[in-house]
Structure 1
Amino acid sequence: MGDKDALRVGIVGAGGIAPPHIDGWLALGAEVSILRRTGAQELADLHGIRVIDDLDQLIDQSTIIDIISPTTTHLDIARRAFAAGRDVVCEKPLAVTTADAVALAQAASDAGMRLFPAHVVRYFEGYRLLKEQIATIGTLLELTFRRTVPAPDAAWFFAEDAGGGLIRDLMIHDLDQALWLAGPVAEISATQDPPSTDGQVMPPVSAHATLTHANGAISHVRADWFGPETVFRSQAQVVGADGSLEFDTAGSGGRREGYLPPASDIDPYQAQLADFVDALRTGHDARVTPEDGIAAVRLVDAAYESLRTGRPVLL
């Protein structure tokens, strides 16, 4: 990992996803710094971390760069980190387009550094158990996913041309789950209600995608951005020839705000970051790989193409 076991993390981004990342790193014993931008000082005061004014200085003083800034900024920041010999954790989606996601992963490979796409739902305990138990239900037939959250606050999330959009920001979690549980996708068809207007999403809004997997299984994926009073809910059901499995945060006890599932014994953000650190120290793959991150962006691109044309898209 460099510098023996030193863990110095530089965070780029100070939005709503920052607190669970900061808490996760601190729980792992990391020395955490954050790049100065709106909201960074408040986070630093709350969590007892440093604010650094300049990106190059942040990179220089860190062993890992954690990119949680708007999606359009990911590729440039990651390239600068890789060029300086730093490993990178990058929030989903890796990039706005498949081409940029591939370029980001290639930059890591060219520099001999590690890239960890942060698809945190793979670390929700309920989804991990689905993955472990899926072989017990026989040939996969149908998978159903739904994710309902309060619409985000920052305006860029609603601008599809600026790296936002309901499918790109929220549905991607369950597109990744469909890939993780049922494998490659051969065809995708997507709808959104209400449709975007001039590339702008207007909550309350829902999107639905139907995926035909290469193995014949069908996945139905729904994502909702609703009002600020909305309770976070994440649901999955997997039906096989010999049985079914399901997970629903509504049955997990308690309410959690924003980006976190209801309370459990395992914090998924900390579990995710711990997996990345273990992968760095052992050289093994993490639960989510750069190829996984690219595959999820590829599905997002195909879903938006389906919205644009009103037709299924072959992959």
Structure 2
Amino acid sequence: MRIGLVGTGRIGAFHASTLAGLDQVDEVVLTDAVPGAAETLAAEHGYGTAPDVDTLLGQVDGVVITTPTTTHAALLRQTVAAGLPTFCEKPVAMTLDESIELVDLVESSTVPVQIGFQRRFDTGYRRARDAVRSGDLGFVHTLRANTHDQAPPPAAYIPTSGGLFRDCSIHDFDIIRFVTGREVLSVYGVGANKGDDFFTEGGDVDTCAAVLTLDDDTVVTVSATRYNGAGHDVRLEVMGSAGTVGVGFDDSLAVRSAEDGVDYPRGPQKWSFMERFQPAYRRELGVFADLVAGRVSSPCTVRDGLQAFRIAEACELSRRRRARVDLAEIPDDSGTTGAGARSA
């Protein structure tokens, strides 16, 4: 099969390499709005190119969207209109209203769409999910999730990112739904800036946290920061009445013990999300190739993307209000309110 990829920036180049290494994929075809960008990457690695999106859509069996978030919605409309299975990096749109419109569009079509939440394909998170669903942990009462970047992105990225909750913590919100099988009822979000001025100037924060209450009264804490000099640190703890399981507690853990005689973790640390989740990205795109071939249904739907976005939206609203926000206040895909469909 031929897979088209739109957007050849950092994650686009990474995905192109992953796709090219899959047995199911015969050719990767690139296009980019930046003149020469696709051609330069293609020349280095032997990929094909197309001069524009419209031409690309006529040449491929499926499409991967890795452009800036501001362009996702328009591109997704194009690929759905063309009837092409699509992989789109999160989030599908910059706003809640547009996300809702896209859910309606995709669900009224027969085009399969997969959203890029790679943690669903990480071995540790999947084992945590199995532990919850098997009952091995007893009743689950508490989760702690964090996403701590080693260094901040460029200043130009912030105005188009959607903010720390929507850009970064949204991965935690999705994986909480995936691991627990539950929905979020309410949130209380906070944020602060101690780093570069461009976060404040862009209306964003460089560090945030939230307390979530799930629909079975499980309590969840989520934290994120752009400044974790010790390394890229992504973890989840799931605590139950009969046991606790953790994800991200290997020797790359970016934490130094203050206790005597402790030599764990031994390192080396990981420094980026691509390094941390490389195997998960490979599995994720392998499943997308199977989706294009018609062998599987979407493992992470546009509806799933909307539910994670709703949680992020509620957290940002809570941060600005300095008050708890119920998810029932955040519209769902029907234009009403409510938690929406639970993740499978």
TM-score, normalised via structure 2 length: 0.81
For residue 152 of structure 1, report the CA deviation from its aligned partner.
Answer: 5.1
Partner of 1:197: 200
Pairwise mapping of residues 59-208 of structure 1 onto structure 2 (< 5 A)?
A: 59-134=57-132, 135-151=135-151, 153-159=153-159, 162-182=160-180, 183-194=182-193, 197=200, 199-201=202-204, 205-208=206-209
Structure 2 residue corresponding to 1:292, chosen from 283, 301, 304: 304
Structure 2: gaps of 5 or more residues: 253-266, 328-344
Amino acid at match of 1:82: V
Partner of 2:247: 247
Find the aligned partners of 1:270 and 1:235 in 2 and give their Cα distance: 20
Partner of 2:272: 258
Find the aligned partners of 2:110 and 2:119 in 1 and give their Cα distance: 27
Quick check: 1:234–1:249 contact (8 Å CA) kept in 2? no
State the structure with more CA Rg: 2
Is residue 20 from structure 1 mapped to residue 14 from structure 2 by the alignment? yes
Partner of 1:272: 284
Structure 1: gaps of 5 or more residues: 1-6
For residue 142 of structure 1, report the CA deviation from its aligned partner.
Answer: 0.4
| % identical aligned pairs | 27
Partner of 2:263: none
Single out whichever of 102-111 and 58-67 deviates more from structure 2: 102-111
Single out whichever of 104-113 and 77-86 deviates more from structure 2: 104-113
Aligned residues: 302
Partner of 2:212: 211
Structure with the larger strand share: 1
Quick check: 1:174–1:221 contact (8 Å CA) kept in 2? yes
Quick check: 1:157–1:165 contact (8 Å CA) kept in 2? no
Find the aligned partners of 1:60 and 1:92 in 2 and give their Cα distance: 24
Partner of 1:34: 30
Find the aligned partners of 1:59 and 1:213 in 2 and give their Cα distance: 41
SS for the counterpart of 1:93 is coil
SS for the counterpart of 1:137 is coil
For residue 59 of structure 1, report the CA deviation from its aligned partner.
Answer: 1.3
For residue 46 of structure 1, report the CA deviation from its aligned partner.
Answer: 3.0
For residue 257 of structure 1, report the CA deviation from its aligned partner.
Answer: 4.1
Partner of 1:3: none
